[in-house]
Structure 1
Amino acid sequence: MGHVHQHPPTAVRNNQSSPAEHVKMPKKAALASFLGSTLEYYDFFIYGTAAALIFPKIFFPAGDPVVALLGAMATFGVGYLARPLGGIVMSHFGDKVGRKQALLITLVIMGVASIGIGFLPTYGQIGYWATALLLVGRLAQGFSAGAEAAGASTLTMEHSPEGRRGFFTSFVMTGYASGMVLSTVVFIPLAALPEAQLLSWGWRVPFWLSVLVLAVAYWIRTRLEEPPVFEEIVEHDKPRSLPAAAVLRTQWRDVLRVAVVMLFSVMQTTFTVYALAYATGPAVGLDRTLMLTVNAVTIGLSMVTIPFAGIISDRIGRKTVLLVGAAGCAVTSFGYFWSISEQNVVLIFLFGFLNMSVFYSCWNGVWTVFFPEMFPAEVRYSGMAIGSQVGLILAGFTPAIATLLAQPGPGGWIPVAGFTVFCLLASSIAIMTARETYNVPLEDLGQPRR
């Protein structure tokens, strides 16, 4: 491997048989990203489920249940305010020191924050201090999550072989489906507990169990090497002193484009958090366990469809798959809310399957490769992290916005579905303005078009 050091970077990059290729670890990188995302989204979903079903009753004063629900949804959204900060801080280290080191730190922050939430006293014990501590835990979760997806996507994409970047990088969000299933499998038996036990200790168990996923994910990540393309930057070019400033100066349009495209993710928080609260609330009154099962089954099936979407995007392009997903999500979101309002269990499962398992998988299988492919290696982590986390702020507050938009009566969900479609439309327009990157070699990504 010594002769790699003899050539300038361009020679190494243009030599397709370079020994640097031999240190790519696509399978190990995909596994490490899968497990890290499993932890992130396990924690994401247990918090979202608890915010919909538990937190209004134990972290806010008794009285108006709508105000308490709004408060719980707002604490859910506040985590998203910390995500851009986490993305900027940790991507700075990721682009300067290494992808692996930054991802190990983010993993620990997420695990400690989630386990800590499981030990919090309630409002009945210490009043508003409980609400404040819940907020601190959620901010720490958000800080970690802001760096996790961008770092895992960047690392996996750079380890992937040409022509298969979409497939390998799709495992970042296959971890999302795994985390969702894991969280729901843990929550379903607890949701069946008597109310007193659920509110006293039952809700804490899922947060404590974060330690198991944290331990496995951390162990795998310590055994992963940096991608060859990053090692070349360290060896031949000095990493940028301020990667975030560099990418905002040279590619601010791409950072903005990523932020707008990310509005697609409003669909996820609408489906998994707000629809759960709407379906189990007084307006509809469906069983908690039923709706948690809908979430688990429909998102669980996407563990198959997400990699499939990545494979298709390697063959026909990223943009086509994303646009098909946006159109499908827009139509099926109306069907999903309508079937909930009609309390039709068969149609709830059908539209849930089409929305999450099929069309939303077109998004989850592709965005993790589409975004890092917009930027060159030396600012890749920063560009993706800043753009995606700014765009995710609206997704985080969507359950609170939906709670405000919803109207009384059978069709009260229509403004919520309309808001979701508006976000999907904005995302689609931004996708259409982007460069198609599925057939662009790794060394040309983020460079001026030839």
Structure 2
Amino acid sequence: MVHAPRDRIFSRQIAGRHSMGGAVARPAGTGSPKKVALASLIGTTIEWYDFFIYSTAAVLVFNRHFFPGFAPAIGTLLAFSTFAAGFVARPIGAVVFGHFGDRVGRKSMMVVTILLMGVATLSIGLLPTYATIGVLAPVLLVALRLTQGFALGGEWGGAALMATEHSPDGKRGFYGSWPQAGVAVGLILAMTVYLPLDAMPDEHFMAWGWRIPFLLSAVLVITGLIIRVQVAESPEFDRVKNVHAVVRLPIIEVLRTHPAQVLLVAGASLSPGIFFYLLTVYNFVYAQKPGGLSQSAMLVLVIITSAIGFFVTPLAGALSDRFGRQRLYLVGLGLIGVLAVPLYWALDTGSWGVIAACYVAATVAVYIPWALQPAYFSEVFDARVRYSGLSLATTLGNLLGSAIAPLIAGSLLAATHSSFSISLYIIVASAISISCALVLGRTTRKRGGGAVSASAGAHGLRTSTLSQ
């Protein structure tokens, strides 16, 4: 697909502005790539901390406190429906925050999204139960969950772009990986909080203990907010404004100029999202069977492997700067497919050592492509529509993969009574993602770098990192 002439003019304007030293001045220090990377990491840390504490509370608490008039099984399903509501709201958030992120700026959206997330999560921790306010309790719970999903729809795109667009030349993969490192940090924090709560007497946990993780999120939110308000706007967005290239309707423009890229990015993100959600959510349920691991053992296992994932993330980002993002991304996707059968075979054995070994390998496999997504995917879109394109594409991938992965895995197991059906699901998803990544690379090469023209001109980068 070829861009309109306006896109090529925009690319030349940005390149010329950059070569003449026309970047907008920033206060000293506020544009530090390290500080921006930290600000981006905080947001994804909160996202995944919230993800785990909410999913755990949906299983253990919400059915009894917010849907007590139903049978336990129905109450649990209703509680999980509130969890799914967050995914429904994400595309709306992606469109809204993508619009303003491409028109107003990345930084302001990063501040708004973290504030919305924080207020919603803290409010859940303070929410009266059905016994106190009746039917208003589940209504408010759904409203707060929708608010979380709405904010999260725009959070990741802003964090990813701030980290990548502030990065020094040749280090976009490394700095772009830090928002993804927040995934591991958020899971570690959440599971560490739940370990002592797991040992608490049931009556105390149900009365007030379940609120503690939600209330503790305020510490993360305040820290993240303080850091984010101090960083500078993305230099690439500043240059877009400087040459008067801000798009009036970014979401329409990205669908007009990058429709294939939106679908290909969604497909390329499918397999890592599915595998990750199975590792961190569904397998907790799968392991709860005679001869399987206890919930506490699974918590410890995921804490340990998440710590490994934290170190794998920046290492994979740095390697992508040297060897090429597409090549390394395909390696990660291939490993996911290869490990699909051994992982569930190990879980079926019930052996801690075997399961731990497979979990470590699976963690390395999933964090490699996960780490590369901010840099790899952001290079596909022009700077003037990048927030909208990146947010929409990855949210679409989440809806088609991550959001329904536990449901599909559970349904496959119920229908076949064999874990091989889950492994086959992972293998098929991996094949789809590999195909999309290969086509994505070819599409970018055919367009002669047009998709990344804004960043290439402004940042001195070529598409070789994507096409290798």
The normalised TM-score by structure 2 is 0.86
Match of 2:14 in 1: 9
Deviations 1:4-39 (A, max 9, x none): xxx953322345x76669875311111110111111
Q: What are the ranges of 5 or more consecutive residues in structure 1 without an aligned counterpart?
A: 1-6
Match of 2:284 among 252, 276, 284: 276
Residue 41 of structure 1: how far off its partner (Å): 1.4
Is the partner of 1:241 in helix, strand or coil? coil
Match of 1:224 in 2: 231
Q: Matches of residues 18-417 of structure 1 in structure 2 within 5 Å?
A: 24-61=31-68, 66-123=73-130, 129-264=136-271, 265-280=273-288, 282=289, 286-356=293-363, 358-394=364-400, 395-407=402-414, 412-417=418-423
Residue 233 of structure 1: how far off its partner (Å): 1.4
Counterpart Cα distance in 1 of 2:392 and 2:80: 24
Residue 154 of structure 1: how far off its partner (Å): 1.0
Asked whether the 8 Å contact 1:402–1:416 carries over to 2, the reply is yes
Residue 50 of structure 1: how far off its partner (Å): 2.5
Asked whether the 8 Å contact 2:246–2:384 carries over to 1, the reply is yes
Is the partner of 2:51 in helix, strand or coil? helix
Asked whether the 8 Å contact 2:102–2:387 carries over to 1, the reply is yes
Q: Does 2:431 match 1:425?
A: yes
Counterpart Cα distance in 1 of 2:458 and 2:189: 35
Amino acid corresponding to residue 391 of structure 1 in structure 2:
G
Asked whether the 8 Å contact 2:313–2:367 carries over to 1, the reply is yes
Amino acid corresponding to residue 273 of structure 1 in structure 2:
V
Do the aligned partners of residues 60 and 332 (structure 1) sit closer, same or farther apart at CA in structure 2, a change above 3 Å counting? farther
Match of 1:434 in 2: 440
Amino acid corresponding to residue 269 of structure 1 in structure 2:
Y
Percent of paired sites with the same residue: 35
Counterpart Cα distance in 1 of 2:238 and 2:279: 41
Amino acid corresponding to residue 276 of structure 1 in structure 2:
F
Amino acid corresponding to residue 159 of structure 1 in structure 2:
H
Match of 2:5 in 1: none
Counterpart Cα distance in 2 of 1:284 and 1:57: 28
Is the partner of 1:86 in helix, strand or coil? helix
Asked whether the 8 Å contact 1:336–1:347 carries over to 2, the reply is no
Residue 331 of structure 1: how far off its partner (Å): 2.9
Q: What are the ranges of 5 or more consecutive residues in structure 2 without an aligned counterpart?
A: 1-11
Counterpart Cα distance in 2 of 1:286 and 1:449: 46
Counterpart Cα distance in 1 of 2:112 and 2:437: 32
Counterpart Cα distance in 2 of 1:285 and 1:63: 30
Residue 143 of structure 1: how far off its partner (Å): 0.9
Counterpart Cα distance in 2 of 1:161 and 1:120: 44
When the two structures are aligned, how many residues end up with a matched partner? Answer: 440
Counterpart Cα distance in 1 of 2:67 and 2:270: 30
Instruction: After superposing the two structures, state which structure 1 stretch, 129-138 or 292-301, moved more.
Output: 129-138
Amino acid corresponding to residue 296 of structure 1 in structure 2:
I
Match of 1:3 in 2: none
Deviations 1:114-143 (A, max 9, x none): 111112334555565443332222211111
Counterpart Cα distance in 1 of 2:241 and 2:77: 48
Match of 1:4 in 2: none
Amino acid corresponding to residue 343 of structure 1 in structure 2:
G
Amino acid corresponding to residue 113 of structure 1 in structure 2:
A
Amino acid corresponding to residue 433 of structure 2 in structure 1:
S
Counterpart Cα distance in 2 of 1:133 and 1:283: 38
The normalised TM-score by structure 1 is 0.90
Deviations 1:65-96 (A, max 9, x none): 55444444333222111111101101111110
Counterpart Cα distance in 2 of 1:131 and 1:273: 23
Instruction: After superposing the two structures, state which structure 1 stretch, 282-291 or 238-247, moved more.
Output: 282-291
Do the aligned partners of residues 63 and 404 (structure 1) sit closer, same or farther apart at CA in structure 2, a change above 3 Å counting? farther
Deviations 1:311-333 (A, max 9, x none): 11111111121221122222323
Do the aligned partners of residues 298 and 204 (structure 1) sit closer, same or farther apart at CA in structure 2, a change above 3 Å counting? same
Counterpart Cα distance in 1 of 2:304 and 2:56: 15
Counterpart Cα distance in 1 of 2:134 and 2:345: 39
Asked whether the 8 Å contact 1:258–1:388 carries over to 2, the reply is yes
> What's the C-alpha RMSD, in Å, of the aligned pairs?
2.9
Amino acid corresponding to residue 195 of structure 2 in structure 1:
I
Is the partner of 1:371 in helix, strand or coil? helix
